[in-house]
Structure 1
Amino acid sequence: MATEHGATVTAGDIARLAGVGRAAVSNWRRRFSDFPGPVGGTASSPLFSLTEVESWLRAQGKLQTLPEDELLWQKVRNSADDLRLLSLVSRLAAAVAHRRLTELLQADDSEVADALPDLVADRRDVPLIRATAALAESRGPAETVEFLYTRYTEAHSRRVQVIPPEVARLMAALVGPRSGEVFDPSCGHGGLLIAAGDGAGTVRAVGQERDGDAARLASARLAVRGIAADVRRGDALTGDAFPCLQADAVLCSPPFGERGWGYEELAGDPRWQYGLPPRGESELAWVQHCLAHARPGGQVAVLMPPAAASRRSGRRIRSQLIRTGALRAVVALPPGSAPQSAMPPHLWLLRRPDLGDRIPSHVLMVDATESREAVVPAWRAFMEDPQRETAGGGRAVPVIDLLDDDVDLTPGRYLLRRAAGPGVAGRTADELLAAVAELTRLIPSVADSPREHSFPAVPLGELARTGALRIVPTPARAERGEGDLALLTAEDVVLGRAPTGTAAGGPDLVVARPGDVVVPVAGRTPAAVVVEAETALGPQLLLIRPDPESFDPHFVAGFLRASARRAPGAASGVSRVDARRTLLPRLPLAEQRRYGRLFRELELFAGALRRAGEAGELLHGLVLDGLVSGDLRPGPGRGAPGPGAQESPAGPAGAV
């Protein structure tokens, strides 16, 4: 974006210019006093002068020549504000895809503007078109268009909804036409259509998208890949651009949870062959729209929110989809597989019924929340024999089992019984025994004190004022995303697990060092951890940095945990830590280390106790489900039968 300081760049742009990670840029800002200061933006997302940054990088020997593609992007980024950036990117991409672009660039600016009236909004766009064409000449049209698209999505990562490429490839593989028409009625930037058209064979891509700029970008991305395409602007539900289309396959990632999808005006629409979608079930309208645009026998794959599988308002339509044989499979995908939600989405696989088809007797249920690799093999095995139980986390469920009062299509509901399969309960019992043995080994060694201890104690706030330790709260919100630093969240601290996020750095980011103590500000479980490697901290945490010459960090962490247990509200399930009021005994460092070792042993004991409890709870459920379903039967037991009981004739076979 251009300001009074000229072209500006973000920290991510600087990292790309220098060929380093964003954490390195954050380190430069802290270490070098002459690093250019921000000229705009916000505290969490500052902007820097491109000229000043380029001069500094050259002076430090970190930049020899500005990369051609990055130079183009900075020109593009500084030629449009956030609201107009997609329009500019889509017009540049469409210009690259234009068949007469090379010929036109030999003409003067006014002739180019007259020849491309839809792509040149301002005469200042022509130099950008020329620069983009020059990059396309050296890098290739497809790579250039994809570069612009990628940079745009990175610049607007919080607002732009992009379907993950691996999910797009999975959906394309499941419907899998190698020729014919593939339709996406909510195609966004064209990700699903590209996945369908990138394989072997000849595919004609047909798409519709509400946003005109997104539709133009999708069309350009398809064109530069050599995929024949027809992408039109408009709302597919209220303004169907292809009313007569009967595609060989339909792929769709519809918007979730829309209430204004056209319920009143579309009440009598002929597409609702399975029932009028409820006002709050827009996804069921999209499912039926997709089926209406598939040829008889054509395959359909639609990403759905998990709630669509069980909402009572949609049970009639779900029932009709099953009764007619339209619904063939439901796959539970990992979190992050749908652009609209962080919740683990479902993938519905459907087939438009054909005259003379036999109604399928089973529906495939697959749990792919841990890995997507088994989905395609499970689907192919199911298609070969729909009544055979499928390996890889899937199960062919009889239709009669689905058509109860709820018509719940949640895969986990039908896969629980398989958990108690051969050997699983026995292995879980072994895990429980191992956890109990570990628990016994870790029982802390303590001794009764001959007299009541009364330690001289000082509040942490007082120690912070004297400089014996530091107390640093983290910001209320923290930037998460791709970066080089591990990010520890409050949930990670409570669960005692390793950092689960990443951070890209920034002036407000709090980074913990080895020996620091981290405490959640509030929570249901008292917790405090000692950091062992440099780690960024998420929101709702406190960093306590004790002087290692005066305090043992595990000693400090132990007393913080104890303070949280006694905090107001802890008895009712929620405690709030006021670290500055926590009393810390003043003991010699050697004595602190003795306490610190015992506090560490207590944490190991607590972890083993959790694992034993989880294994015991799992074993209880597995055996209960297995006995009821017939997958397990009573064994000989671990001791003599009680009074009046008889030995089981089954003997040891089937014992857990």
Structure 2
Amino acid sequence: MAGAREATAPILPEEISWRISYAEIGALTQVQRPVVTTWARRHADFPEPVAYEGASPLFDGGEVAEWLLSTGRGNADADQIRAELVLHTLSAWRRVIPARTLVDTVTALLCLRQLLDEPLSDLPWQEILERAAEIDFDDTFLRRELRELPDAERQGPLLAVLADQLTEAAYTPAEALERVMDARRRLGCDDLAADEPIPLVSRTMARLTGLARLNEREEGATAAVLHPRSGDLLVALRESVSDAENSPFFLSADPMPDLARLARRRLMAQGVQEFEMDLADGEELATEDWGNPHVIVCYLPYEAAETRSPLAVLQSLQDVTDLLAEDRTAVVLGPADALVRPLPVRGEADRLRRDFLEQHLLKAAISLPEGVLPFRPAHRTAIWILHRTPEGKRTGQVLLADLSSRNLTPQTLDALAEDIDIFRDAGWRADSRHEPRNAAVVRATALTSAPGAAFTPQHRPPADRYTRTVVERPARISETELRLQQLIDATRSALDHAPTIRANAVLRPDDQPARRTTVTRLLKDRRLRRLPGHRIAAEHLLTGGAGHYTVLTPAEITGSAPVDSHRIDRAILLNTYEHAYFTEPGDIVVTATPSFGAYVDDEGLSVVAFPARLLRARSDAEHPVRPRVLAALLRSAATEHRRVSGAVRSARRIEDLLIPDLPDDEAERYDALLSDIARRTALLRQHAAALDELTSLTAAGLVDGTLTLTEPPLV
């Protein structure tokens, strides 16, 4: 974020200010919290605290935003900061206007600005009301929200200015309106977000309908949303065809008129004309006027597990299929226990669920992880894709996908949508040219002939039996067994000819007390050099062996993760962290967070990640420090000063730990002992790693059904 940026003054009601903490400033500017405290310490013009929460300072958000915009500090761009400032200002308005009234008014103003295509802050409030009455003559989406604003003559113009500021930060009123909807929880409108899934799932469901392709292929396509709530699915459907020349017709019905009005505002702001939608107030879609829809999307209303009945869920799905004409599609999100998990064998719910297959309606069943509904984090959901296929085109195949243990990233859901698109384009049958990445296409009879069975992939697809991982697994097992035997032989050879390990430890005489020192003293005596760790962003840390350089984080240093668990790409390191340094052989890496740890890097060429730091022995010192000895002594001394429950940090800093300053000859003997221990430990770790790999390889093959264990050959 370079260059000076123009500040935006917040429009706040009287006696309201946006108070923001160090951590929130860090989140706003996309930097870590210590960076913000450094700004406050080094820059005299950084805003002063306006209050304290305990010992933590709170700052005026407007002043902080203006400082960021004028100095260009942080990683967020100016528009993000302006938008965040306006959203926080909106949140502050809740002390004056009820949260729901505030959201309704601001979304109405943004919708009006989109339709008028001109700023509202230049218009008197009365003229805004008159223009709203002209546009919304029948009062179906925004007129009432503006007319019923409390103390409208005073509050209305201020909110109009806020609407313009939001638009300027988001480029268009439509994007600004969606930013407000994304912030509905922050604005206190939990009821508008309670039963909505995460946006990524809404967008994926819209894509799974195939509406974009259908709209290109046919004129007059109709898309319906059952239980639209606050309109997330309607907007997702609209965005899926935003590049098309012709808009499909949108249908929905909601028994709560205020939610239907909000959905209309959102679609109108997206460019949908009144004659391109029929969002009814009530329970029934207007199918008599517009015919049965081409695609249907819905989230089944949430019910608690104690009262939820799988049979009732499946019966509501049956009602959805009644709206499906021939060659029409429905995508439904519902509870996983009814849609994909095992059911009581031959019970009513089981028979009804298998009936969807026998009627060739169910085309895909997708298990999702917990967390799809943010307000119901433990609620497991699944998606069904239903299609009424003409009798002559039925294939008797169904796609099953299990994403219940995968993170729902855009890449994962894009791959799923592509698999579904290919399955649909092939006539709802497996395509020999494409193997689904996270799914399997099976015969429907495999499920109908297994009462109560889960609608999830039970075995690897046949093609997976011939992947390199599977085919090479027996050879890898044999190699691991051979390596184990070689390790045993090497260990026996090494230890048979090695002297017995002896510490030769005796009690120190009372008249020869050990001389004590600290890391601070060693630094002052120029026997050590201290270097800080690097603040490496989490997204730059690679796992699974990827990357070029090892990164030593506190996890590796404290032993909670093996060394080489984290790596970093060469290009990212050189371009993003241009002042980064590498460790040298013998460097000691220490950390006090989350607990004390000390690690000697024998190989070097690693990168140290903050809050860990590095102690490097100076080879030119009169009495050089032996790294292995210093690390062992620090680990032992730290056990006496552990962080107690409730404390933020340990009783003593690493630099203040008292350790013996061993004479050179004794330090040499101790270093030799530690080297022998390290050599033996390394051999044991190699044994343990090989045994773990053998366990993992055999278990993986047995679990996926591609491996079997036979009787050993007779000798």
Distance 1:181 1:386, change over 3 A: closer
Of structures 1 and 2, the one scoring higher in RCO (CA 8 A, sep 6+) is: 1
Structure 1, residues 445-476: CA drift from partner, whole Å, max 9, x if none?
6657355876989xxxxxxxx9879xxxxxxx
Residue in structure 2 matched with residue 327 of structure 1 by the alignment: 362
Letter in 1 for 2:106: L
Alpha-carbon distance, 1:249 to partner? 0.9
Contact 1:23–1:484 at 8 Å: present in 2 too?
no
Find out whether 1:312 has 2:322 as its counterpart: no
Alpha-carbon distance, 1:324 to partner? 1.9
Pairing of 1:4-153 with structure 2 (within 5 A): 6-9=17-20, 14-15=25-26, 19-23=29-33, 26-28=36-38, 48-53=59-64, 57=68, 62=73, 69-80=83-94, 84-85=98-99, 87-98=101-112, 99=115, 108-110=124-126, 112=128, 116-119=143-146, 120-123=149-152, 124-133=155-164, 136=167, 139-152=171-184
Residue in structure 1 matched with residue 458 of structure 2 by the alignment: 413
Residue in structure 2 matched with residue 205 of structure 1 by the alignment: 250
Q: How many residue pairs align between the two structures?
A: 551
Pairing of 1:146-545 with structure 2 (within 5 A): 146-152=178-184, 160=193, 163-177=197-211, 178=215, 179-198=220-239, 199=241, 200=244, 201-207=246-252, 216-227=261-272, 228-231=276-279, 239=283, 246-254=292-300, 256-258=302-304, 279=309, 283-284=313-314, 287-308=317-338, 309-312=340-343, 314-332=349-367, 339=374, 340-341=376-377, 346-352=382-388, 360-367=395-402, 369=406, 371-383=412-424, 384-386=426-428, 388=430, 391-393=435-437, 394-415=439-460, 419-421=464-466, 424-436=469-481, 440=486, 449=500, 496=562, 498=565, 515-516=590-591
Contact 1:332–1:347 at 8 Å: present in 2 too?
yes
Alpha-carbon distance, 1:126 to partner? 3.2
What TM-score comes out, normalization by structure 2 length?
0.59
Counterpart secondary structure, 2:457? helix
Distance 1:499 1:155 in 2: 39
Distance 1:195 1:515 in 2: 49
Contact 2:228–2:254 at 8 Å: present in 1 too?
yes
Alpha-carbon distance, 1:550 to partner? 9.0
Distance 1:579 1:94 in 2: 57
Contact 1:97–1:141 at 8 Å: present in 2 too?
yes
Pairing of 1:584-595 with structure 2 (within 5 A): 588=667, 590=671, 594=675, 595=677
Distance 1:11 1:347, change over 3 A: farther
Distance 1:15 1:456 in 2: 54
Counterpart secondary structure, 1:132? helix
Counterpart secondary structure, 1:297? coil
Q: What runs of 5+ residues in structure 2 fail to find an aligned partner?
A: 1-11, 134-142, 509-516, 521-536, 542-552, 568-587, 618-624, 640-649, 653-657
Counterpart secondary structure, 1:252? strand
Structure 1, residues 126-165: CA drift from partner, whole Å, max 9, x if none?
3212431465479322232233334546778999566455
Letter in 2 for 1:187: P
Alpha-carbon distance, 1:12 to partner? 7.1
Structure 1, residues 242-296: CA drift from partner, whole Å, max 9, x if none?
6867322122344555358xx7xxxxxxxxxxxxxx6367754653454344444
Distance 1:418 1:75, change over 3 A: same
Distance 1:167 1:282, change over 3 A: same
Counterpart secondary structure, 2:248? strand
Residue in structure 2 matched with residue 524 of structure 1 by the alignment: none
Letter in 2 for 1:617: A
Structure 1, residues 168-218: CA drift from partner, whole Å, max 9, x if none?
443333321315222222435534323322322422233456887765554
Counterpart secondary structure, 1:187? coil
Distance 1:448 1:597, change over 3 A: closer
Letter in 2 for 1:183: A
Distance 1:585 1:110, change over 3 A: same
Distance 1:41 1:157, change over 3 A: farther
Q: What runs of 5+ residues in structure 1 fail to find an aligned partner?
A: 264-277, 458-465, 470-481, 501-512, 522-526, 538-542, 563-577, 629-633, 644-656
2:692 to 585, 602, 610: 610
Distance 1:195 1:248 in 2: 16
Structure 1, residues 500-524: CA drift from partner, whole Å, max 9, x if none?
9xxxxxxxxxxxx953277799xxx
The alignment's C-alpha RMSD in Å is: 5.6
Structure 1, residues 62-111: CA drift from partner, whole Å, max 9, x if none?
49999654553343222125994454234312222134585976653356
Alpha-carbon distance, 1:336 to partner? 6.0
Distance 2:480 2:598 in 1: 23
Distance 2:398 2:627 in 1: 62
Distance 1:52 1:279 in 2: 54
What TM-score comes out, normalization by structure 1 length?
0.64
Distance 1:172 1:2, change over 3 A: same
Distance 1:248 1:206 in 2: 11
